[in-house]
């Protein structure tokens, strides 16, 4: 995994104890998983990282395939991979045994092996034309925790908490007998939510270590010429 920002991240699950301590009501993990993407789209932030994934192509009559990690957004490269340690996995869809191993590792950006040309992206899996064996895939994916719940910045965490507080106040206003107090609470929480969404919007920032890692060897050498770095602004 390659962090592409100067900002620290928290699992969105951290909003659960935060809401309990600051708003006094309980929230479950399913609610966080269901709504966090909606809030991030409202904010306009999408924390995307580069991942390296190794898998074993599964033979199938409809086309050999490998399932993609659920956070994959776009494919950067697909190459032949070295032999990997397989972990048994059983598909519930077709009841056939296959072997998949997810391997998120902090390694170099250059893919290993030869590029595989004949493949197509079907959304949740890559389908190959007559290719069998291991594959190595570099892909851009959303930054998630070990449970595939999006990671958020501290400001996004505050906005997420206010989002759930607003939803609660809105639900109470429309399901309970309407009162001026319930209406005021709903409008106040909506104003707080709008403000925290605005404050949570951040610009993407490159740092010099990140740029040096992404550039190829020749370009990296040129950046070090004349005993100085060329800084991006």
In a domain, residue 205? The reply is no
SS3 33: helix
- Please determine, for residue 228, whether its predicted confidence score (pLDDT) is greater than 60: no
CB 77 within 8 A of CB 110: no
In a domain, residue 123? The reply is yes
Give how far the C-alpha of residue 108 lies from the chain's centroid of Cα atoms, to the nearest Å.
20
- Based on the domain organization, do 113 and 189 belong to the same domain? no
Kindly report, residue by residue over 66-124, the tens digit of the pLDDT: 999 888 988 988 998 764 444 433 333 332 222 233 333 444 556 777 888 889 999 88
- Based on the domain organization, do 161 and 122 belong to the same domain? no
Question: In total, how many domains does the chain have?
Answer: 2
Give dist(CA 128, CA 137) in Å, integer. Answer: 13
- Please determine, for residue 10, whether its predicted confidence score (pLDDT) is greater than 70: yes
- Domain holding 101, by residue range, is 49-142
Give 170's contacts (C-beta < 8 A, 6+ positions apart): 186, 189, 190
Residue 223's pLDDT band (cuts 50, 70, 90): very low
- Based on the domain organization, do 41 and 151 belong to the same domain? yes
């Amino acid at each position: 995994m390659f962090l592409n920002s100067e900002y620290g991240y928290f699992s969105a699950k951290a909003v659960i104890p935060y809401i309990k301590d600051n708003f006094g009501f309980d929230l479950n993990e399913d609610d966080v998983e269901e709504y966090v993407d909606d809030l991030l789209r409202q904010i306009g932030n999408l924390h995307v990282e580069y991942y390296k994934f190794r898998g074993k192509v599964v033979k199938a009559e409809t086309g050999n395939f490998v399932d993609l990690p659920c956070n994959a957004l776009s494919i950067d490269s697909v190459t032949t991979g070295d032999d990997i340690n397989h972990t048994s996995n059983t598909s519930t869809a077709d009841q056939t045994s296959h072997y998949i191993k997810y391997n998120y590792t902090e390694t170099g950006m250059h893919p290993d092996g030869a590029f595989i040309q004949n493949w197509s992206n079907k959304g949740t899996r890559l389908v190959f034309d007559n290719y069998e064996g291991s594959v190595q895939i570099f892909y851009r994916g959303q930054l998630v925790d070990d449970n595939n719940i999006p990671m958020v910045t501290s400001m996004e965490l505050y906005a997420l908490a206010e989002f759930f507080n607003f939803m609660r106040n809105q639900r109470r206003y429309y399901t309970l007998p309407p009162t001026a107090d319930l209406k005021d609470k709903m409008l106040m929480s909506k104003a707080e939510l709008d403000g925290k969404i605005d404050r949570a919007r951040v610009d993407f920032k490159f740092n010099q270590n990140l740029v040096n890692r992404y550039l190829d060897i020749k370009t990296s050498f040129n950046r070090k010429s004349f005993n100085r770095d060329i800084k991006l602004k």
